[in-house]
Amino acid sequence: MEIDKLLDNLKENKKIVLSLIIGIIVVFTILFFIGRFVNNYFDRKNLEKALTSMGEKVYKELYYNNLKDDFAVYEKEGIKITLNEMFNATDLDYKDYFYNRRTNKSCNPNDTYVMIYPKSPYQINDYNLTFNLVCGY
């Protein structure tokens, strides 16, 4: 009798241990995918912030003074500044920073851009900015 009882306890313990192992595997799998999603999200947000900052800098340093008389024209159509133009203006290499860390592919330098829309009264900080980030996200 005692041997049967011991075997029954062992079988139940195996079920508990197996359930715990499966539960741990499921939890780690979920955490892994959440971590990848969060990492990709913050990676994209950092690239968006850098692209916006560079676009603002190029606009203020190169475009603002040269387009003062034409701001009304660009208010609706905008000023497109590609990643290539930004890096040519700043002598930086986009491949060093602007790439998708998940795929290790560089952002497209012609299709990644900011659009600046000057707005009245056309002071240096009077504009709206949109962007297009093409990095495989």
Q: For residue 75, is it within any domain?
A: yes
Distance of CA 72 to the CA centre of its chain: 32
Look at 128 and 1; give whichever has higher pLDDT.
128
Residue 117 lies in a domain: yes
Higher pLDDT, 20 or 66: 66
Between vectors from CA 35 to CA 30 and to CA 39, what angle results, nearest 5°?
A: 155
Look up the domain containing 32 and give its range.
Answer: 2-132
* pLDDT digit string, tens, across residues 39-64: 666 677 888 888 898 889 889 988 88
Q: Is residue 58 part of a domain?
A: yes
pLDDT of residue 3 exceeding 70, the answer is no
> Tens of pLDDT along 79-118?
999 998 888 877 666 556 787 877 888 889 899 999 999 9
Q: Is residue 66 predicted with pLDDT exceeding 80?
A: yes
pLDDT digits (tens, 9 = 90+) for 22-45: 888 888 888 777 766 666 666 778
Which positions ≥6 away from 90 have C-beta within 8 Å? 54, 57, 58
Instruction: Examine residue 87 and state whether it is found in any structural domain, yes or no.
Output: yes
d(CA 50, CA 38): 18
Domain count along the chain: 1
92 vs 61: CA distance, rounded Å: 16
Q: What is the pTM for the complete model shown?
A: 0.65
Asked whether residue 103 is assigned to any structural domain, the reply reads: yes
Q: Quick check: is 137 in a domain?
A: no
